């Protein structure tokens, strides 16, 4: 969906297709008919933005076979879908029974990450609508922190500088500008927006910026106003924003709260859990260890990296951090000019929810995604943006 900001610029809203991951191009094409087009019709809009996730194998086909890329473009157009952003964080296997730490490999110290992201940029340049000249690709924040030392950081920097040069050449060849957005995430080499300031300040700013994920921001107990002010002062751009909400527990010592949290401890994804005492952030790599070990203080609230549906927060005694999302969005688009123009709802954990909250079939998942987008739309229009046909 597109929106007109009061300054006259266009703001894009999409949802990320990693919620129904596919490893092959045929799987991606099936998503368009099974989920994406029905979501568009559910919302009653003529055009729906989707943030495609393309696994390594699908990306290889699209870069090596021009007919395959034309087929994807045709299907998108036929179904009233458009793409201005790609999610380049997961590399492959995002639909596996256990993803956990695998999602951080290969990291940016591995040249395969550079090649994969280069392919995504070239694909996106072809997928962009004819009236859109800039696209974005979000990516992992260099790598998982364990074993990611100075040598890995140096290799990552060199790879990102090389990518910036390739993106410059791509724009010269195609007239389409693609920007990369590093997505801070708890537990990674770049865990917070503050951690991103140094590496991003050392990279070409016209190509590299930050992907602000509002679940990750909330999980690390970052204050939106403080984080966004620091980014602005450092001159770090925000090419992309992922609209998401984390799991929040006010009183983790309460047995009822711990029982409710335990229902979200599942084997597929990593749910980094945090607690803040003053200026100290206490960390557990996953929700299970937080609940079973003496890792986090129980006298302060906990937040877990679990993308809960925007419109459907968990039942009490738990809640979500939708307020952090709303605060962030107001700061990002509520001013004289938008600080980002690409927004993506990214709730990929629908099937990881406790059984009572999971969609029972494809139609229920479509309804849920549409409801999330409707909420995001209402937030944008409430800030003075006008939805475009």
Q: What is the model's pTM?
A: 0.97
Identify the band that residue 293 occupies on the pLDDT scale cut at 50, 70 and 90: confident
- Tell me, what's the pLDDT at 377? 98
Q: Which of 346, 312, 264, 240 is nearest to 18 (CA)?
A: 346
Give the pLDDT of residue 345: 98
Question: Which CATH homologous superfamily contains domain 2-250+306-387?
Answer: Divalent-metal-dependent TIM barrel enzymes (3.20.20.150)
Cβ-proximal residues to 4 (8 Å cutoff; 6+ apart), any chain:
10, 11, 385, 386, 388
pLDDT at 70 over 90: yes
For the record, the structure tokens of 386 come out as 């006008």
**277-305 average pLDDT score:** 96
Q: Is pLDDT above 90 for 294?
A: no
Counting residues of the chain whose pLDDT is more than 90, the rounded percentage is 99
Check whether 122 has a pLDDT greater than 90. yes
Is residue 363 helix, strand or coil?
helix
Q: Residue 318: name the closest of 285, 283, 357 by CA.
A: 357
Rounded to 10 deg, the angle between the 193-201 and 224-234 helix axes is: 10
Q: Where are the domains of the chain?
A: 2-250+306-387
CA dihedral 300, 317, 373, 362 (to 10 degrees): 130
d(CA 238, CA 216): 15
Tell me what pLDDT residue 298 has. Answer: 94
Q: What is the pLDDT of residue 359?
A: 97
CA quadruple 170, 172, 178, 181: dihedral, nearest 10: 90
Average pLDDT, the chain: 97
Separation between Cα atoms, residue 163 and residue 86, nearest integer Å = 16
DSSP label of 353: S
Q: Name which of 23-27, 259-263, 269-273, 292-296 the model is least confident about.
A: 292-296
Query: What ranges in the chain are assigned the alpha helix state H?
Result: 25-31, 37-43, 56-64, 66-78, 111-127, 150-174, 193-201, 214-219, 224-234, 255-262, 287-292, 322-333, 362-382
What percentage of the chain exceeds 70 in pLDDT?
100
Model pLDDT for residues 372-385, shown as the tens digit of each residue: 999 999 999 999 99
pLDDT band, very low/low/confident/very high, at 35 (cuts 50, 70, 90): very high
Q: What confidence category does residue 279 fall into, taking pLDDT thresholds of 50, 70 and 90?
A: very high
pLDDT band at 95 (very low <50, low <70, confident <90, very high): very high
pLDDT digits (tens, 9 = 90+) for 209-221: 999 999 999 999 9
In what helix (H) or strand (E) does residue 142 lie, and over which residues does it extend? none
pLDDT for residue 272: 98
| CA distances to 4, 51, 84 from 12, in Å | 9, 10, 8
* H/E run at residue 389: none
């Amino acid at each position: 969906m597109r929106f007109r900001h009061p300054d006259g610029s266009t703001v894009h809203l999409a949802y990320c297709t990693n919620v129904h991951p596919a490893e092959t191009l045929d799987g991606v094409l099936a998503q368009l008919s099974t989920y994406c087009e029905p979501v568009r019709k559910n919302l009653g809009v003529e055009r729906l933005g989707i943030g495609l996730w393309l696994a390594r194998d699908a990306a290889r086909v699209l870069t090596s076979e021009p007919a395959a890329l034309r087929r994807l473009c045709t299907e998108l157009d036929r179904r009233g879908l458009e793409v201005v952003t790609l999610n380049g964080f997961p590399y492959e296997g995002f639909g596996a029974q256990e993803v956990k730490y695998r999602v951080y490999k290969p990291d940016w110290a591995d040249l395969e990450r550079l090649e994969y992201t280069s392919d995504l940029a070239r694909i996106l340049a072809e997928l962009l609508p004819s009236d859109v000249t800039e696209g974005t690709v979000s990516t992992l924040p260099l790598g998982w922190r364990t074993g990611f030392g100075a040598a890995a950081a140096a290799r990552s920097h060199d790879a990102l500088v090389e990518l910036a040069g390739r993106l410059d050449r791509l724009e010269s060849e195609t007239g389409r500008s693609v920007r990369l957005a590093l997505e801070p995430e708890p537990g990674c080499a770049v865990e917070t927006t503050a951690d991103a300031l140094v590496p991003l300040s050392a990279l070409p700013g016209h190509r590299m910026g930050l992907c602000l994920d509002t679940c990750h921001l909330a999980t690390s107990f970052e204050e939106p106003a403080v984080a966004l002010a620091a980014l602005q002062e450092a001159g770090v751009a925000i090419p992309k924003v992922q609209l998401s909400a984390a799991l929040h527990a006010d009183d983790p010592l309460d047995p009822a709260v711990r029982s409710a949290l335990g229902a979200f401890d599942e084997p597929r994804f990593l749910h980094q859990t945090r607690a803040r005492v003053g200026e100290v952030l206490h960390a557990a790599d996953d929700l299970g260890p937080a609940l079973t070990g003496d890792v986090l203080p129980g006298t302060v609230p906990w937040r877990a990296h679990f993308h809960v549906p925007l419109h459907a927060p968990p039942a009490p005694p738990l809640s979500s951090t939708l307020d952090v999302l709303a605060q962030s969005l107001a700061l990002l688009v509520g001013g004289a000019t938008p600080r980002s123009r690409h927004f993506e709802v990214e709730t990929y954990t629908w099937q990881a929810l406790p059984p009572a909250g999971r969609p029972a079939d494809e139609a229920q998942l479509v309804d849920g995604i549409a409801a999330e987008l409707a909420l995001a739309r209402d937030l944008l229009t409430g800030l003075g943006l006008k939805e475009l046909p």
